[in-house]
A and B are shown apart, each in its own frame.
Chain A
Amino acid sequence: MNNLEKYRKVFRSIFDVEDDVLNENFRFNNVEKWDSVAHMSLISALEDEFEVLFDTEDILSYGSFENGMKILTKYGVKFEE
């Protein structure tokens, strides 16, 4: 499984959604299930999956599926199609 597949898997598991909704429109302000509890669960799951520990600023700004990939890239995670 490549990193993009792993990333999608984490989102599917936390938000209980299908793969086709995971795109640039998947944001905390238009996903009903994306509350503070889900946010911290997402952060923990991503930290476990990619073996990183996010800075607080990155946790606060981790507001979308797409932006999250940019943040993870800063931690050395490479996303390949």
Chain B
Amino acid sequence: MPGMLEDKVCLITGAGRGIGAAVATRFAEEGARVYANDNRPGTVDEWAAKAAFPGKVYPLYFDITDSSQSKEALMRIKKESGRLDVLVNNAGVEFNELIGMISEQNMRKMFEVNVFSMINLLQFAARIIARNSEGGSIINISSIVGQRGNRGQLVYSATKGAVISLTKSAAKELADKKIRVNSIAPGMTRTAMMLQADQSRLQERIANISMGRLAEPEDIANACLFLASDLSKYISGEILGVNGCAIM
């Protein structure tokens, strides 16, 4: 039985670990040709070498904040695969700082990675996807804090709020080219970074999730699969929360 993304050409940013690696794995399981980006050389090879998929995973190391590197990467995909069907804008950085202690350097870095680079990649990718008669899908990873805000996350939540807004605008602008643009807003997700956090504080936070557990990276990956596949072909401009019904 063919996979849900059979022969679809996909680019996933920030795929060296965590949610990005889970999305890349899930897509490859469904038969996609996955270009898995990270800015840390070797990180994609570490997990991709251990697994066998019906699809293929091509590590693609570049810094998304460097416009010329992003452009070269997209040109490489177009030359090698002749097309692009799906972009998952997952790469992001997070610094949590209380008001009064917000570092300008961290603030600029978060906007550069989480927002400006995402817009840049979306622009380049949309021009390539627009050449497909059947269009394609762009998925931007935001966050529950972009919808609801959170103490200590003023800047991070502002960047993720921007992701939500730009998703809605891009969806309107790209609809006539059959390019769907949606966002997934994960709640607290079990990643290496999360497990290093203060455990008592973590339990307190889990108590605020109605389903009583953190999201697994695979939960986010499954939602991405839905939005990348033809099952969601009439859905665009939407923000899909994947948060276990968090109270927050």
Interchain nearest-CB distance for A10 vs B (Å): 15
A48 to B127 CA separation, bound complex (whole angstroms): 11
Within 8 A of B (CB), among A24-64: 43-44, 47-48, 51-53, 55-56
Contacts of A53 in B (CB 8 A): 71, 74-75, 78, 124, 127-128
Given contact pairs A47-B127, A56-B123, enumerate 16 new A-B contacts (beta carbons under 8 Å): A43-B127, A44-B127, A44-B131, A48-B131, A51-B78, A51-B79, A52-B75, A53-B71, A53-B74, A53-B75, A53-B78, A53-B124, A53-B127, A53-B128, A55-B67, A55-B71
The chain A residues found within 8 Å of chain B, CB to CB, are 43-44, 47-48, 51-53, 55-56
Q: Which residue of B lies closest to A47 (CB)?
A: B127
Interface residues on B, range: 10 to 19
The chain B residues found within 8 Å of chain A, CB to CB, are 67, 71, 74-75, 78-79, 123-124, 127-128, 130-131
Shortest Cβ-Cβ A-B pairs, 8 listed: A53-B71, A53-B75, A53-B74, A53-B124, A44-B131, A51-B79, A56-B123, A51-B75
